[in-house]
């Protein structure tokens, strides 16, 4: 018998050859799977680069940039409109107090009233409507930051306090 390197190993060389064949087969299957995945990836990439309906990717990007510019200009206009609405809202009358009362006892009904209208800074006016048999009289008194220079009647004070939130409105 001839002396060889393989005969000096404690394992039969046929097992080594079979083992290497199995490893080669596994590697071959792995390579085939990688090639298939690569083809799928290339098809997806090619579809992405062509775009839909033969549009190019560059056209899509330019379109998106234009849309972003339009959205930014709309956002700026909306913010300015909101600022304008906030200024208008603060200047409008948003707080009120109403007190109905009977100005002259025995005349029947609570036809007189005091109405306070205030804005965001608690400035506005108090209207007092006094109803009598001879007619209806209206008095208006200015309010600046919750204070008046003119002396207020009880009903006017109560209406102002309701508008300022110091008192709850009474239901008649």
Give the pLDDT score at 61.
82
| Range among 8-17, 19-28, 82-91 with highest mean pLDDT value | 19-28
**Predicted confidence (pLDDT) per residue in 101-152, tens digit:** 888 776 667 888 999 999 888 899 999 998 887 888 899 999 998 888 888 9
Residue 81, φ and ψ in degrees, nearest 5: -65, -40
Q: Is the pLDDT of residue 35 over 90?
A: yes
3-state DSSP helix/strand/coil % of the chain, to nearest 5: 50, 20, 30
Contact of 90 with 120, CB cutoff 8 Å:
yes
Whether the predicted model's global pTM rises above the 0.75 cut: no
Residue 154: both structure tokens together: 């009880």
| 80 confidence band (pLDDT: 50, 70, 90) | very high
- Residue 159 CB neighbour total at 10 angstroms: 28
């Amino acid at each position: 018998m001839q002396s060889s390197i393989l005969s000096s190993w404690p394992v039969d060389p046929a097992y080594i050859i079979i083992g290497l064949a199995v490893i080669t087969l596994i590697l071959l299957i792995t390579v085939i799977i990688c090639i298939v995945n690569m083809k799928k990836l290339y098809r997806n990439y090619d579809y992405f680069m062509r775009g839909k309906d033969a549009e190019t990717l560059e056209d899509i990007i330019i379109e998106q940039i234009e849309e972003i510019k339009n959205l930014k200009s709309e956002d700026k206009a909306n913010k300015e409109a909101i600022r304008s609405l906030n200024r208008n809202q603060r200047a409008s009358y948003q707080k009120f107090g109403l007190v109905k009362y009977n100005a002259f006892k025995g005349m029947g009904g609570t036809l007189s009233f005091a109405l306070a209208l205030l804005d965001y800074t608690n400035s506005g006016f108090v209207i007092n409507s006094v109803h009598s048999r001879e007619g209806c009289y209206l008095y208006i008194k200015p309010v600046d930051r919750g204070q008046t220079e003119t002396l207020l009647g009880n009903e006017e004070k109560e209406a102002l306090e309701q508008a300022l939130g110091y008192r709850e409105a009474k239901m008649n």
